[in-house]
């Protein structure tokens, strides 16, 4: 682990409180990324917001690692306005249980961000107040940002080539 990550106050506090929940820690170009168990994403995010003042959720997205298990990684980009600090929280989500708890109760901006991730990647955010498509029409088949989504659209065969 790099010096920047070791000296990060938020990281130290998270390690003290959530050691069993932390799966991985990375530091790159001054930004810290912490991978946590998906069951603990709300607790970790709540601690970051309420105790460490990460008061702005700038983005929720997901990455598709087709061919691996877990297949998806949900990514939360947080910013602390008072501390002028960024942190990234990631949580692995298996294709067999493609859901994670919503953080809408912590940040109202999560409402639309989680809907976008649901719409384009197919990850269900449990306890979301209004989880429905936001970009694609209600009758759209599939989730266009998944790596196995047909390149020519939903009426075509899935891509069979090498994806990584």
Return the higher-pLDDT residue of 108 and 151.
108
Q: For residue 40, is it within any domain?
A: yes
| Residue 105 is assigned to a structural domain of this protein | yes
- Binned at pLDDT 50, 70 and 90, residue 6 comes out as very low
Does a structural domain hold residue 153? no
| Residue scoring higher pLDDT (103 or 142) | 103
Could you tell me how many residues make up the chain?
Answer: 164
Local structure of residue 154 (DSSP, 8 states):
T
pLDDT at 139 over 80: yes
Average pLDDT score over residue span 19-39: 94
Q: How many domains does the chain have?
A: 1
Tell me if 56 is assigned to some domain.
yes
Q: Is residue 151 part of a domain?
A: no
Nearest to 125 by CA among 49, 72, 87, 48: 72
- Whether 39 maps to a domain, the answer reads yes
Q: Does residue 25 belong to any structural domain of this protein?
A: yes
pLDDT, tens digit (0-9, with 9 covering 90-100), for 52-106: 999 999 999 999 999 999 999 999 999 999 989 999 999 999 999 999 999 999 9
Residue 159: pLDDT over 60: no
Residue spans of alpha helices (H) in the chain: 3-6, 9-18, 41-50, 110-121
Q: What is the pLDDT of residue 110?
A: 98
Q: Is residue 159 part of a domain?
A: no
Enclosing domain of residue 107: 3-126
Gap between the Cα atoms of 126 and 122, Å rounded: 12
* Cα distance between residue 17 and residue 149, in whole Å: 39
State the pLDDT at residue 150.
82
What CATH number should be reported for the domain holding residue 25?
A: 3.30.460.80
Cα distance between residue 46 and residue 2, in whole Å: 26
* Whole-Å CA distances, 48 to 11, 17, 32, 78, 83: 10, 11, 13, 9, 12
The pLDDT score that the predictor gives to residue 157 is 59
């Amino acid at each position: 682990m790099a010096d920047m990550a070791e000296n990060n106050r938020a990281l130290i506090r998270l390690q003290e409180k959530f050691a069993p929940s932390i799966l991985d820690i990375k530091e790159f170009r001054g930004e810290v990324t912490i991978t946590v168990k998906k069951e603990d994403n709300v607790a970790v995010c709540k601690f970051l917001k309420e105790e460490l003042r990460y008061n702005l959720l700038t983005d929720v997205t997901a990455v598709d690692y087709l061919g691996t298990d877990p297949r998806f990684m949900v990514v939360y980009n947080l910013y602390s306005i008072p501390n002028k600090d960024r942190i990234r929280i990631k949580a692995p989500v298996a294709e067999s249980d493609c859901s994670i708890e919503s953080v809408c109760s912590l940040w109202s901006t999560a409402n639309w961000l989680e809907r976008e991730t649901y719409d384009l990647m197919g990850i269900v955010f449990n306890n979301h107040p209004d989880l429905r498509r936001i970009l694609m029409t209600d009758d759209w088949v599939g989730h266009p940002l998944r790596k196995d989504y047909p390149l020519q659209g939903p009426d075509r065969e899935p891509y069979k080539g090498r994806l990584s």
